[in-house]
Amino acid sequence: MKKYLNSLDELSRRRFVERSAKSLLGVSLLPAIGTARAQSQKAGGGKGKSLIFLYMSGGMSHLDTFDPKTNAEVKGPTTPLKTNVPGISISNHLPKLAKQMDKMAIIRSMNSVTGVHGNGSYVARTGYRPRATIVHPCLGAYGQYLEGRRNANLPDSVVIGTGGGHPGAGFMGAKFKPVPINDPESGLQNSRARTSESKFDERLTISNSFDSAFRERFDHLKVRDYTELYEETVSLMRSEDLEAFDISKEDSKTRANYGEDRFAKGCLLARRLVEHGVRYVEVEAGGWDMHYYIGEGIAGRGAMLDQAVSALLKDLDSKGLLETTVVAIGTEFGRTPRINANDGRDHHPRVFSTMLAGGGITGGAVWGASDDKGYAVAKDQVTIQDFVATLGYGLGLDTEKTIFSPSGRPFTIGDKGKPVTQIFG
C-alpha cells in the first residue's frame, strides 16, 4: 500500500501531461510546457502530501464552534470549553475536538466580502469571485496541474457530497476534474460491473471486435484517448485501488468512532483515499445555515462535526498519515453575533473561523482574533483568498506561480492571497 503513497508513476504521468497539455493548450506549446512542468519544484513550504478539506456549507457559526465568547449578548447557546492546550477554549459543542487541540491551529480572523451562499462557497473553493466569463479550478485541480497525476488508477481529487455547485477543475478541463462521490457508502459510482467478470471480459472482446474497423479507419488521438480510457477504467475496476472507495472494508469499531451519518462516512472515505495516495479530498456537510433555533442546530451539527473530525485526526495520526495530510475545516462565512428574532444567527462574512491540522501545521495554535463580541477582526486578518493560499501552501504547491487559462488569462492559487506561513512548524 505504501507504494501508492509517494510513488508517482512516472511513465503514466508523462503520458498524461502530454495528453492533457495537448488537449488544453494545443500541440504547438507542448515542449515548453513539458519542460516547465518537469522543472516545477515544490515551492510551497507545507509538508502536506494530501489535503482533506471539510466544507461546512451554509455558513458555520464561529461563535458556536471555534471562537466562543463569554459576552452574554452574543454567546448564544454556547459556552467556552477548556481544551488540552492551556489558554485555548473552544465551543462546548466540540468536547472531543477540545481534547485534540494540540493537533489543531485555529484561525479566528477570517474575513470574506460576500454574504451570499453560492458566491461565498465559490470563493472559498477557488479563491476567486465568480465571473460569468470563466470557471476557476479548485485546489485539487491545481495540485494535479502543477505536480502531475499520482497514480495510474486512482483520481487525484475526489469530492464527496458536494452536489451541483462545485467548480471542479474549471478551465483546466475534464482531465483535472475531481471525481464526485454522492454517497460515501456506495463509493465510486458505477464501478461494479453488472455481470460476472468473465462475462464482462467477453462483452469487451465482442465490443472491440465490432469496433475494430472503425478504430483502424480513424486512428485519431481523440479515439485512441477513449480506447485508453476504457483500458484505464477496466484496470481501475479490477485494481486493488478500488478498495480505496469502499468503506465497508473498515472494521465496525473504526466506523463507530467516526459516526453513522453521511459526513462521518465521508470523512472515513477521505481517510481511505488519502491512504491510497489521493491528493485532494473534499467532504461537504450541509445544515449550517442556522437562521432559526441555533441552539438545536448547533447541538446536532456540532456533535456530528466533533465526532467525525476527532475520529479522523486520531485515525490519521495512528496510521502515521497526519504528518503528511492537511485536514482543514472551511466555510463561506460566519454568523451574526446577535441572536435574531427566530433564535438564530444570520450571515456574517466580516469575521469567522477556520481550522487546520496535520501536514506540518503547528498544533495548539490560534492565529488572529475577533473582537470580544465576535463581530469584526481584531488582529491579523486572514482573507478567504489568504486561506485558500494557505491550503495550497500546506499542500506544498507554489502559490505564486501564474497559471494561464486557455484564453490566456493569468491566475494564481488563492488569487494572490498570502499564505499564513506562521502556523506551519
Partner 1 sequence: MKVLSLVILAFLSLCICRSLPAQSQNVRMWKNKDGKEVMMQFVRMDGETHCIMKTKDNREHRFPLELLAEQDRKIALAMRPLAAATGKDRSSADTALLIDRIMNENWVKTRSQPNEPASDEEFVRRIYLDAVGRIPNLGEIRAFFENDSPNKRNELIDVLMESEGYKSHLYNYFGDMFRITDKIGDGGSLVRGVSFMEWVKKCIDENRPYNEMVYEMLTASGKAWETPATGYLLRDSGMTLDNLANTVSIFLGTEIACAQCHDHPFYDDTWTQAKFYEMASFFGSTVTQLGPGEFKNGEPLKRIRNEVVDIIKANGGDPEDFNTQRLMRTLGRMIAANRFQVKDVEKNRIKLPHDYKYEDHAPGDVLAPKFIEWPDERNFNPRKDKEMNDRQHFATWATSRENPMFAKVIANRMWQRAFGIGVVEPVDNLFAPSMDSNPKLLAFLADEIRRTNFDLKAFQRTIFYTKAYQSKANTTEYEPGTNYAFQGPLLKRMTAEQLWDSFMTLQLGDPDKYRGATGELYERVIDMELDKTTGKTAVQKLTAYQNMGQTMKKLNDAKMEDSEEGEGSAMSMEMTPRSRGGAQLLRASEMNQPAPAGHFLREFGQSNRLVINGASKEGSVPQILRIMNGNSTEMLTSNSSQVYANLAAEETPEAKVEALFLSILNRRPTESDMELAIRKIDEEERYAYDDLIWALVNTREFLFIQ
Among 41, 190, 248, 318, binds partner 1 (CB under 8 A): 190
CB of 364 to partner 1, least distance (A): 37
**350 close to 376: Cβ distance less than 8 angstroms:** yes
Give the C-alpha separation, 153 to 233, whole Å: 8
Q: By CB under 8 A, tell whether 28 contacts partner 1.
A: yes
Q: By CB under 8 A, tell whether 12 contacts partner 1.
A: no
127: left (phi over 0), alpha (psi -120 to 50) or beta: left
CB of 215 to partner 1, least distance (A): 6
Q: By CB under 8 A, tell whether 198 contacts partner 1.
A: no
Q: By CB under 8 A, tell whether 378 contacts partner 1.
A: no
Considering the complex, state which of residue 358 and residue 414 has its C-beta at the smaller distance from partner 1: 414
Residue whose entry in the numeric block shows the C-alpha cell 469571485: 129
Sign for the CA dihedral angle at 308, 310, 313, 316 comes to negative
Q: By CB under 8 A, tell whether 362 contacts partner 1.
A: no
Q: By CB under 8 A, tell whether 173 contacts partner 1.
A: yes
Nearest-CA neighbor of 189 among 263, 245, 269?
Answer: 245
CB of 193 to partner 1, least distance (A): 6
**AA letter at 113:** V
CB of 391 to partner 1, least distance (A): 22
CB of 210 to partner 1, least distance (A): 6
Size of the site for partner 1 (CB under 8 A): 69
Give the C-alpha separation, 160 to 96, whole Å: 24
Nearest-CA neighbor of 325 among 52, 31, 116, 133?
Answer: 52
DSSP state at residue 361: B
Among 2, 3, 87, 194, binds partner 1 (CB under 8 A): 194
Q: By CB under 8 A, tell whether 43 contacts partner 1.
A: no
**AA letter at 32:** A
Sign for the CA dihedral angle at 294, 114, 158, 8 comes to negative
Q: By CB under 8 A, tell whether 217 contacts partner 1.
A: yes
Q: By CB under 8 A, tell whether 23 contacts partner 1.
A: yes
Q: Which residues pair with 325 in a beta bridge?
A: 50
Say how many C-beta atoms besides its own lie within 10 A of residue 393's C-beta. Answer: 30
Q: By CB under 8 A, tell whether 296 contacts partner 1.
A: no
**121 close to 152: Cβ distance less than 8 angstroms:** no
Rounded to the nearest 10°, the torsion over CA 311, 312, 314, 317 is 170
Residue list 52-111, contact with partner 1 (CB under 8 A) = none
Q: By CB under 8 A, tell whether 196 contacts partner 1.
A: no
Q: By CB under 8 A, tell whether 404 contacts partner 1.
A: no
Positions that interact with partner 1 (CB under 8 A): 23, 26-28, 116-119, 130-135, 155, 161-166, 173-175, 177, 179-180, 182, 188-194, 199, 202-204, 206-207, 209-211, 213-215, 217-223, 225-227, 229-230, 232-233, 236-237, 292, 341-342, 407-409
